Structures are given as C-alpha cells and as structure tokens.
C-alpha cells in the first residue's frame, strides 16, 4: 500500500505540477495505478515462484541425502544441535529420534539446516494477488480527488488524502514493529512528502504546452 501511495501521489502531482488539462492528470493516475499494480503483482509472482522452486529443489536434494546416506545426515543434525549448546549425548539421542522416519527427518533438516518450513513454502498466486490489491488501493487514494474535481482543489485534496493515508500506514506499521506510532507515521509522511514534492517541482519546472 505504501508503494502504491508514494508512487501514484508522486506521479499525479508531478503531472499536475505542469498544469495540463485535468483529464491528463486523471489518465496518468489511472495508468499509474493499473501499470504499477500489474508490475508489483508480476514481480511478486516471479519472485515467489523462483523462491518456491529453489526451496523445492533444496528439499528434493535433502530428501535424496536422507534416503541414501541417513547416518551422515544424522551426524549433521548432531553437529547442529551441539553448535547450539546441546550436550553431545542429548544431541545424539535427539538427532536419532528426528531421523526415525524419512518424513520427520526431512521436516527437521528443512527447519534446522535450511531454515524453511516444508509445509509452508508460500503461494505465488496469493502473493501476487495481495500485492496487486494493496498497491492498487494505495494508488487509488491520491487519484480519487481527480475523479470528482480538478485544478487547485484536486491538487490540495490529493495532497491531504495522501498525507492522511501515509500517517495511517505509519501507524499500522508501528503496531507490528512496536515502535512509537508518531515516529513511524512521521517517517511515512516525510517519505511521501519528499517524493511528491520533488516530482511536483520537476513538473512545474518542465511544464507542458497542452491547453487547459
């Protein structure tokens, strides 16, 4: 959502700063929303698909090792547990217990050696859909004023809407990071303000020759 908000408020204000017809700003905002949402979605899908395929390959290799050289894999677990401070005798007993079945052994090695949960590798389609929806929602916020009004009124309303949304995003992030809400909100607001201010200034400096 933060990506969509910052990207589209910067695009909209950058175009608005050149003082074109209101329809041009609306078109730019809609294009930014659609293109950005599809881009984020596609990028997330490719990234998650590649990550999932990599994990599946690692799991297949690990499964092969467990079935062809179980004693060597058991010793690996022993070393892992010992490196974490477990007593050698206890580490050996624990490793033997974890190697009791190939399925349990694979899950244990995946968690302890590879750092992944073989039962939760993630869904590329869900990740892509989530990125599309959240980016589009964030990008829609600064665009709404341009759908109902134009000119200075739309610019001011877009800035206010984006500022409020940035603060809300910061507050929401603070709930997860346990940081002070005002600090997180101020940081998000400053990021959006700098990006939007720079592009608006560039738009004003460059200008357009289109009629209003």
> Using one digit for the tens of pLDDT, what is the confidence trace for 105-149?
999 999 888 888 888 888 999 999 999 999 999 999 999 999 999
- Whether 76 is covered by a domain: the verdict is yes
What does the pLDDT read at residue 2?
Answer: 93
Instruction: Print the domain residue range for 185.
Output: 2-44+125-206
State whether 35 and 79 are in the same domain: no
Q: Which tokens go with 36?
A: 């950005």
- pTM for the model: 0.80
H/E segment holding residue 24: helix 22-68
State whether 144 and 105 are in the same domain: no
> Using one digit for the tens of pLDDT, what is the confidence trace for 166-187?
999 999 999 998 889 999 999 9
**How many structural domains are present in the chain?**
2
Cβ-contact 15, 205 below 8 angstroms: no
State whether 64 and 25 are in the same domain: no
| Domain end marker among 90, 114, 138 | 114
Cβ-contact 191, 3 below 8 angstroms: no
Average pLDDT (57-76) is: 92
């Amino acid at each position: 959502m933060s990506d969509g908000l910052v990207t589209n408020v910067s695009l909209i204000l950058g175009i608005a700063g050149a003082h074109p017809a209101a329809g041009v700003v609306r078109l730019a905002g809609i294009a930014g929303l659609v293109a950005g949402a599809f881009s984020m979605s596609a990028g997330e899908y490719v990234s998650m698909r590649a990550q999932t395929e990599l994990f599946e390959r690692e799991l297949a290799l690990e499964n092969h090792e467990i079935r062809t050289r179980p004693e060597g894999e058991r010793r690996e677990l022993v070393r892992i547990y010992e490196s974490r401070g477990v007593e050698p005798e206890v580490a050996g007993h624990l490793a033997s217990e974890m190697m009791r079945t190939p399925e349990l052994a694979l899950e244990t090695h995946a968690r302890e050696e590879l750092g992944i949960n073989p039962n939760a590798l993630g869904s590329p389609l869900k990740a892509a859909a989530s990125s599309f929806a959240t980016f589009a929602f964030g990008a829609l916020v600064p665009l709404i004023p341009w759908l109902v009004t134009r000119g200075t009124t739309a610019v001011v309303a877009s800035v206010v809407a984006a500022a409020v949304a940035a603060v809300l995003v910061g507050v929401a992030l603070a709930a997860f990071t346990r940081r002070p809400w005002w600090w997180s909100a101020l940081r998000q607001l400053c990021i959006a303000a700098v990006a939007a201010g720079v592009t608006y200034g560039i738009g004003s400096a460059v200008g357009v020759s289109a009629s209003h």
